[in-house]
Amino acid sequence: METQTIAAKRDEIATPARRAFPYHVLEKPGDNLVDRFLEAFAWVLEYTDYKPLLDSYCRSTAKCNRCAVACPILLASGDPRDIPCYRTNLLLDTYRRYFTMGGWVKARFTTPFELTEELLYEMGDVFYRCTVCRRCTRSCPLGFDHGLITRLGRYLLSLVGIVPKALQVSVQEQLEGETHNTSKVSRAGLLDVLSFLSEEMEESLGVKLDFPTDETDRDYVFFCAVSDYLMEPDTLMGNAAVLYAAGDWDRWTIGLCNYDGINYGLFYSDWHLEQIIKRLVAEVDRLKGRSVLIGECGHASRAAHDFIPTFMGQRAPPVRNFMEYTLDCLRAGKISLDPDVVTERVTYHDPCNLARSGWIVDQPREILRSFCRDYVDMTPKGADNYCCGGGGGLVSIDELHDFRMEIAGKVKAEQIARTGADIVVAPCANCKKQLKELVEHYEIPCTVVGLHDLVLRAIEIPGGKSPVERRAEAALFAI
Amino acid sequence: MTIDRWIEFAKGPLFAVTFMVMVLGLGRQVLLQFYFLGVKKGRRLRNVHWKQVARETSSWVVPVRHMEPGTGLFSVASYLMHVGVLLVPLFLVDHIALWNAFLGLHLPAIGEGTADALTLLTISCAILLLVMRLLRSRHRLVSRPADYLLLMAVLLPFLSGYLASHPSVNPCPWNVMMLTHLLSAELLFVLMPFTKLAHVVLFFFDRISVVHWQLRPGAGDRVAEALYRKEVGAR
Ligand code: SF4
Ligand code: SF4
């Protein structure tokens, strides 16, 4: 990652003229940008359901600026271009002028608003300064969903070729590439990782487990952000430990044709969103699985949980996040967590995609409180939390690193520092990456882990080593 | 025609017509929303958590928990203005006869003192909002001319109504002020369905943005196809 950032900087120096976008795009935005944008807009209005949304937003916006105090980006940058309502109006004005009767009439009598290439460039900039965290929605008396508009703006821009290369390349690999996943983890590579994990677990937990792959007729088909296989072994081992300790080892499987829960379509494109969802469900169908179990990833969970029913209707398999499953096991007494192992101060970061809708707020807290001695909450929390600053796909775009650190994540960093926590739990691949960079950047003395990383430390393994024993071993190892 | 005849006209046929425009216009907005929900989204509505939508919407009726630092003055002024705007026109003694004559409604009246206080509150809040919108750069940036004009349009009937009923502070003849009051109120009726004032009914629908996340299956495909077809045709 580091090298790419440097490459990006070199690129800046090489082209003294200000780049149109703060991120790399795959193709050069060609000629007739405005016309092509309007045409794409027209087709989108024709075939999708966004028109009523735009109509009612155009009609009822109060322009009260309440959303402005809610947005962490604006709080940190103070740049008026980051006012949610201002950004949204770029798109609404375009819609008003070119696609409504009123706009047409008005254009006959006054100097009309005109969509220019510069405005499109500005959209390309500001729509990727919003992390689609939707915190502002809860502050708007009319419930305006700026996240929805940002996403629509990005979708329209992507139709004329303006889309961050980082997102596009990943999605392309996922849909058309050989490995069919965003991190290019081949099937052999995955099997390697799994056998490595089972060796690790044998050594540390004292039980020999083979990860079930491509088993049919199981209750849970497991998907995580594929990058977890490369970067988050502890989270995965924590997941596996819960499944084993709860006696559910024969009830789950990892599919070998599709093992990536990531869905960047959620961030910028309806088409990609739907295709990726369909591929995921196809894998579950192939394995005759009965439900989808999503690992620790906010956007993957929301994409599956919210959009499988949307696109699949009656045929939608049920979707659960792993934390819901773990809590059920805990409540049913199927697993027990040792309250003496985790003694550090722990706090919990709510991933926007899980918490904003109120879906997963209390579950992880109940798990953590059950075994962490010193648990503290951030304020605000839950559905009112602040975004980590890397939401909406921003975390994958290396060129936006400085923006993410200095602006998007600033409020979050202050919030974390205030808790005085030693461990920040963030059950999301995106949040984890952003927060790790953030605590390093602001030199906050704490570590960022997944929730199951902690569970792994505290869980009692039937027939294996006890948590206290494991802690002693780990301490020895550390010396 | 004398001013008094004009007043008669504004109280009679003009009132009936403008009121109808408002009712039909707002009704159309509501029907459009239901059409969209029922026909367009149809079965996908089952995926929406309606209870939460209802809870969120109703939490704004008395938005205490939404008071955040930084929004204080504007929010309070705006809330109080809305209280006045909703209560005074409906329950003022002088209006009740009007509702009775046209709609057969028997509404309870609020005391004159309360009504006066509410009216003054509304007027001062509206002026305060206008001033804040004019002076604060962040507000100016997101405001369009309509945002200022509509606020003034709301202010006018309250101001003229108050002056008309308080001869001691009224600088013009009573009937001129009364006519202003009537016409400005009727202007509001007409504006309501066609401007952002429509939030009087849309308020209850806007919070369903969760519904809009229920994208239409296959739509992305169709858009991509349409654009691709054109690209191929151009070659
Ligand atoms: S969605 Fe989040 S980042 Fe975007 S404008 Fe709203 S609060 Fe700001
Ligand atoms: S809070 Fe809502 S109505 Fe007010 S300015 Fe923001 S989007 Fe517009």
Looking at the CA of residue A137, tell me the nearest atom of ligand 1: 6
The tens digit of pLDDT for each residue in A279-304 reads: 999 999 999 999 999 999 999 999 99
Looking at the CA of residue A147, tell me the nearest atom of ligand 1: 1
The confidence band for A6, taking pLDDT boundaries of 50, 70 and 90, is very low
ipTM reported for the complex, 2 dp: 0.86
CA-based nearest residue to A196, from A159, A233, A247: A233
- Right CATH for A2-163 from 3.10.450, 1.10.3470, 1.10.1060, 2.60.40: 1.10.1060
**Which of A271, A276, A319 to mutate against chain B (most B CBs within 10 Å)?**
A271
Q: Would you kindly state where each structural domain of chain B is located, as residue ranges?
A: 3-228
Arch. (CATH architecture) of B3-228: Up-down Bundle (1.20)
Q: How many helices (H) and strands (E) does chain A have?
A: 24, 8
Please name which ligand lies nearest the alpha carbon of A134: 1
Task: Report the distance separating Cα B126 and Cα B148, nearest Å.
Answer: 11
Q: Measured from the CB, is residue A142 less than 6 Å from ligand 2?
A: yes
Per the CB < 8 Å rule, is A63 touching B139? yes
Per the CB < 8 Å rule, is B217 touching A310? yes
Residue A84: the pLDDT is 92
Please name the residue ranges forming H helices in chain B.
3-11, 13-35, 50-59, 72-91, 93-103, 112-135, 137-142, 145-165, 174-191, 199-206, 209-212, 219-234
Q: By CA distance, what is A305's nearest residue in B? A: B47
Give chain B's residues under pLDDT 70. 1, 70, 230-235
- From the CB of residue A456, how many other CB atoms can be counted at a distance below 10 Å? 26
Q: Measured from the CB, is residue A392 less than 6 Å from ligand 1?
A: no
CA-based nearest residue to A246, from A332, A323, A367: A332
Residue B233: the pLDDT is 55
Q: Would the pLDDT of A18 be above 60? A: no
In DSSP terms, A347 is beta-bridged to A376, A424
Q: To the nearest 10°, report the CA torsion of B55, B60, B64, B65.
A: 50
CA-based nearest residue to A50, from A62, A39, A42: A42
Q: By CA distance, what is A269's nearest residue in B? A: B220
CA-based nearest residue to B136, from B71, B76, B68: B71
**Partner residue facing A142 (CB), from B139, B206, B215:** B206
Q: Would you kindly state where each structural domain of chain A is located, as residue ranges?
A: 2-163, 172-330, 336-478
**Which of B138, B150, B203 to mutate against chain A (most A CBs within 10 Å)?**
B138
Q: By CA distance, what is A74's nearest residue in B? A: B138
CA-based nearest residue to B165, from B128, B123, B126: B123
Per the CB < 8 Å rule, is B74 touching A139? no
- Which residue among A53, A60, A61, A138 has the greatest number of ligand 2 atoms within 8 angstroms of its CB, and so is best to mutate? A61
Q: Would the pLDDT of A1 be above 70? A: no
Q: By CA distance, what is B213's nearest residue in A? A: A148
pLDDT top residue among A150 and B67: A150
Residue B1: the pLDDT is 61
Q: How many CB pairs under 8 A join A and B?
A: 162
Q: Please give the CATH number for the structural domain made up of A336-478.
A: 3.40.50
Residue A15: the pLDDT is 40
Cis bond upstream, residue A380 (ω within 30): yes
Residue A193: the pLDDT is 95
Looking at the CA of residue A68, tell me the nearest atom of ligand 2: 6
pLDDT top residue among B69 and A263: A263
Task: Report the distance separating Cα B159 and Cα B130, nearest Å.
Answer: 14
Per the CB < 8 Å rule, is A40 touching B223? yes
Q: What is the mean pLDDT of residues A153-160?
A: 94
Give the pairing type, strands A423-425 and A345-348: parallel
**Which of B215, B225, B229 to mutate against chain A (most A CBs within 10 Å)?**
B215
Strands across the sheet containing A374-376: A374-376, A345-348, A423-425, A447-449
The tens digit of pLDDT for each residue in A405-435 reads: 999 999 999 999 999 999 999 999 999 999 9
Q: Measured from the CB, is residue A86 less than 6 Å from ligand 2?
A: no
